[in-house]
Amino acid sequence: MFNWIARISTGIGIVAVLLAYLSFHHQVDPPIYAHTEMDALLQNFRQLNRSCFIVGASGESGKALLKEVVRLKPFARIVLISRRKLEYEDEELKKLEQRVIDFDKIDELHQNDFQGFDVGYSCLGTTRGKAGKEGFIKIEHDYTLSVAKAAKAGGTKHFQLVSSRGVDENSFFLYYQVKGQTDREVCELGFERVSIYRPAVLLVDRVERRPLEKVAQALLKPVAYIAPTFISTPIDILAKAMILNTINNGPPGAQIVDNKEIHQLGNSLTV
C-alpha cells in the first residue's frame, strides 16, 4: 500500500512540476497596445475605406473572422466568396455581398471576382478523413493557391492565410506536407504583405460533430488555462489576431505568425 501511495505522490509531483514549467514558459506576453491606442488604430484604418474578401467564411475560422469583421467594422466593403450562397439569420450578415464561384475554374471564369480588394483572407480548410487524400490536396493546396493568384492579379495588397502549427513540406505526414508547400508558394507570389497564421489546436464549438476532437479539447482545457500558448488556440483569439494584424500596418513581405504571437495579437484587441 505504501508503494502505491509513493507512486501516486511521485506522479502528482511530476505533474505539478510539468504544469509549473508550462505556466512559466508559455505565458502570453502583455498586450502590445493600450486600449486608447487600439481604438485610435482602428479609427485610423476605417478612414482609409479599405475593402476585403473572405474565402472560407462557412468554416469555423472563417465564421469567427467574419464575426469580428462585422463587429469592429474596419472595412468599408466586405465580400464573401464561396462555392455556394451562405444563409444567415442576422440582418447585418444578410446584407453582405456574396459571390458564388467554381473553385475548379477560378483561372477561366472568376478572375474578375477577385478584382479591387485591399485585403484578402483565406480560411479554406478540410481534413483527409472528410475529403479523402485527393480532395484534401485540392482544397488545401490547389484552391488556396488559385485564390491567392487571383487575388494577386486583382491587386490585393495584403493576403492572409490560416495554416497550422508544425507545417513542413518535407514532413512524412500529408497534412503538414501539403500545408507547408502551400504556405511557401503563397509567400512566393509577391504580395506587398503576406501573413501566414499557424495556430495550435483550435478551441471551438463546431457545428459539425467530431467526437474525438471534443474529447481532446476537454483534456486540453486545463493545460490551456495554465499555459495558454502551449498547445491550443481559442478560435476568437485567432480571429482577433487577424484583424489587429490587418490594421496595424506591419512591415512588407512574408510574415509567419506563430501561436504565441497569435495569442499576443488576439489578446491585444480590446475594443
Active site residues: 175, 179
The CA distance from 127 to 25, in Å, is 31
Per DSSP, the residues of 124-145 read ----HHHHHHHHHHIIIIIIHH
Q: In this structure, which amino acid lies at residue 246?
A: T
Q: Which residues contact 28 (CB under 8 A, 6 or more apart)?
A: 228, 229, 260, 263, 264, 267
The CA distance from 99 to 81, in Å, is 5
Q: Which residues contact 9 (CB under 8 A, 6 or more apart)?
A: none
The CA distance from 77 to 100, in Å, is 17
The CA distance from 257 to 265, in Å, is 10
Contact between 163 and 187 under an 8 Å Cβ cutoff? The reply is no
Q: How many CA atoms lie within 13 Å of 228's alpha carbon, on the beta-carbon side?
A: 15
Residue 235: in which H helix or E strand, if any?
helix 235-247
